[in-house]
Amino acid sequence: MQAYLTLTRRELSSYFMSLTGYIIISAALFLLGFSFVDLLKQLQREPTPMPVTELFYMTWFFWLILLVTTPVITMRLFALEKFSGTFETLMTAPVTDLEVVLSKFTASMMFYLIMWLPLLGCVLLVRHFTSDPGAIDAGVIGATFLGIALLGSLFISLGCCASALTRSQVTAAVISLVFGASLFLLAYLADQVQHQPDWQSQALACFNFFDYMHNFARGVVDTRAVVLMGSLTLFFLFLTLRIVESRRWK
């Protein structure tokens, strides 16, 4: 436990000790700002019954931020340690592989959530300038952040896995970007076929992340989505653990 906490702390602080963390946050903030401008324009046009978070989700900037930042957040986790050789000092300390994987995942997850905090600011800003305080509901915001966290954990566990595979940060980022984009396209495909009655389409429709996230943004917490994304995250973390362990096979 002590090793896990120590490692998590180091991993998280390493984002802020180098420029990387600040660059990722500013890039995300830039995109978030864009989407916010978009959102405000929509609000000016006509009154809408949708919650602000749903309006934000509808701008699609959410997906752009998710797809672009998660590979960058996760690329250094294992690849840099392997490249610089610190992986050796790390693994010869009395720590378990599980602790290492979990601490890296936790730290990048925390950083990811910190990166999304400005969204809360945007929402509160809207709330401040709208006359109706009921326009923004804590439950809806909570559900949106739950959705952001769940999708984030899926993409970040994917990134951990990619980073554990290679010594090169660039390769790690490309692998997780490709797989992330594939998940995105899978969701797109699922979205297209979800109304067709055949079983293949219905099976594919399970991966309609667009729909899931849309629900979260509306304030609807769908347990199917929670279970799916939670178990996919666990699956990728398990895979990462096996990759880290694999050096002890042979």
Partner 1 sequence: MSDGLMIEVANLTKRYAGRTAVSDISFTVARGEIVGLLGPNGAGKSTTMRILSCFLPATSGTARVAGFDIFNQSDEVRRRIGYMPENNPLYPDMRVREYLKFRARLKGLSRTRTRERVDVVMEQFGLTEVQKRIVGQLSKGFRQRVGLADSLVHEPELIILDEPTIGLDPNQIRSVRQLIKSLAQTHTVLISTHILPEAEMTCNRMVIMYEGKILAADTPDNLQRLMSGNSQVIAEICAPREVLEACWSEMAEVEQYDVAPAQGEYCRCALTPLDGVDLRPRIFAIAKERGWPLRELTRSRHTLEDIYVQVTRPDEEEA
Report the interface residues with partner 1, using CB under 8 A: 2-3, 6-7, 10, 14, 17-18, 84-86, 88-96, 247-250
Min separation Cβ 101 and partner 1, Å = 15
Cα–Cα distances in Å, from 88 out to 12, 18, 94, 101, 161? 20, 22, 12, 15, 18
Specify the residue, 108 or 157, whose C-beta has the smaller distance to partner 1: 108
What is the residue type of 230?
G
Q: What angle do CA 177, 153, 224 make, to 5 degrees?
A: 110
Measured CA to CA, the distance from residue 234 to residue 14 in angstroms comes to 24
Nearer to partner 1, 94 or 133 (CB): 94
Side chain identity at residue 110, one-letter code: M
The CB-of-162 to partner 1 minimum distance in angstroms stands at: 22
Is 20 or 144 the residue whose CB approaches partner 1 more closely? Answer: 20
Q: Which is nearer to partner 1, 45 or 250 (CB)?
A: 250
192 or 246: CB nearest partner 1: 246
Residue at 208: amino acid letter: N
| In the complex, minimum distance from the CB of residue 7 to partner 1, in angstroms, rounded to a whole number | 7
In the complex, the smallest distance separating the C-beta of residue 171 from partner 1, rounded to whole angstroms, is 20
Burial of 58 from C-beta contacts in 10 A (0-12 / 13-18 / 19+)? middle
What is the 8-class DSSP label of residue 219?
Answer: T
Closest separation in Å from C-beta 3 to partner 1:
6
